[in-house]
Amino acid sequence: MKITFCCTDTKAEPWLAGLRAALPEALVELWQPGAAPADYAVVWAPPQAFLDEQPQLKALFNIGAGVDALMLLRLPPGAQVVRLDDAGMSVQMAEYVCHAVIRHFREFDGYEADVKQGKWSYRKPRARADFPVGVMGLGVLGERVARALRVFEFPVMGWSRSPKALDDVRCFAGPAQFDDFLAASRVLVNLLPLTPETEGILNRATLSRLKPGGYLINVARGAHLVDEDLIALLDSGQLAGATLDVFRTEPLPAGHPFWTHPKITVTPHTSARTLREESIAQIAGKIATLERGEPIAGIVDPARGY
């Protein structure tokens, strides 16, 4: 069995060593143009030339949860696309989102600014009932985030494609319930996959439906957001602020207004990092399962795009 590793912007050596240790019977190689085709591939943003050389591929393991970049490529016929299924990402995402929500709700930025000026000043406590949080996407990450927010007793709403039932989370589903979901939310957390249906879903019309003082946390993909609509809504005072981890172009280009906007917090696509050890264990386990002819979880449905 041959496994080829082809991940842009990733240090290959530790991955190759980890995969070899986990699957000693396999030949594990870094892709070189013209090399013999593989049975399995471990990829992140591979070039089309790599995929075109893999006629017998059984599965492509994406070392991330989002497969949007992969879905734009011409994939080998017969190869299943497998996304990372948590592998240590959901707890990181829960930390990040809870931190962003609490920082905004408790006005910690304001305290920090006061303290920098030597000011010992209190702010009036705010009611968490006035800060309902809407989570777009109730998949592997969104569900964990919704549950984590409930621990802090925020009212939590969730929106997904198919109907869901989560304890203590008010669930909405499908386009017909989207407006009601937005109208019930003040803080909006985006954890949708990027698909043709969800591209640009964070725009002037949708963000304007949030409760007054709306706050956006985008941790999914930059192309979900219409950048200039967000800036306009922040500048007009319709939205109170935003925390953004993902951008249409990454790294965020120098001079982009998000860098310096006083109501925007930027982080460099770091809310839930791929953890190498966990990911190798998951991928190796799934390859072994497939080799035994058994089914695995985390297979992407090309028709849905996630």
Residues within the interface to ligand NDP (CB under 6 A)? 64-66, 89, 137-142, 159-162, 191-195, 197-198, 219-221, 245-246, 269, 271-272, 306
Place of tokens 């039932």: 165
Nearest distance from C-beta of residue 179 to ligand OXD, angstroms = 28
CB 278 within 8 A of CB 87: yes
- Min dist CB 163 to ligand NDP, Å, is 8
| CB closest to ligand NDP, residue no | 139
Cβ closest to ligand OXD, residue 160 vs residue 274? 274
158 lies in the site for ligand OXD, by CB under 6 A = no
> Count of H helices and E strands in the chain?
10, 12
d(Cα 26, Cα 20) in Å, to the nearest integer?
A: 7
What does 194 bind: ligand NDP, ligand OXD, none (CB cut-off 5 to 8 Å by kind)?
ligand NDP
- Could you give the CA distance from residue 106 to residue 104 in angstroms, rounded to a whole number? 6
Q: Which helix (H) or strand (E) holds 217?
A: strand 214-218
Distance of CA 33 to the CA centre of its chain: 31
Structure tokens at 261: 């906007």
Q: How far is the CB of 82 from ligand OXD (least distance, A)?
A: 13
Q: Find the binding residues for ligand OXD in span 264-303 (CB under 6 A).
A: 274
- Ranges of beta strands (E only) in 69-146 are 80-82, 133-136
Phi, psi of 55 (to 5 degrees): -65, -25
For ligand OXD, the closer CB: 7 or 22: 7
Least distance (Å) between residue 65 CB and ligand OXD? 4
Decide which of ligand OXD, ligand NDP, none touches 219; Cβ closer than 5 to 8 Å per partner kind: ligand NDP
217 touching ligand OXD, by CB under 6 A = no
Min CB(237)–ligand OXD separation in Å: 31
Element (H, E) at 283: helix 276-291
Site size toward ligand OXD (CB under 6 A) is 4
In which residue are the tokens 């017969």 written?
78
Active site residues: 221, 269
* Residue 100 CB contacts under 8 Å (≥ 6 apart), including other chains: 217, 243, 265
Quick check: 64 binds ligand OXD (CB under 6 A)? yes
65 contacts ligand OXD (rule: CB under 6 A):
yes
What tokens were used for 47? 């070039």
Residues forming the site for ligand OXD (CB under 6 A): 64-66, 274
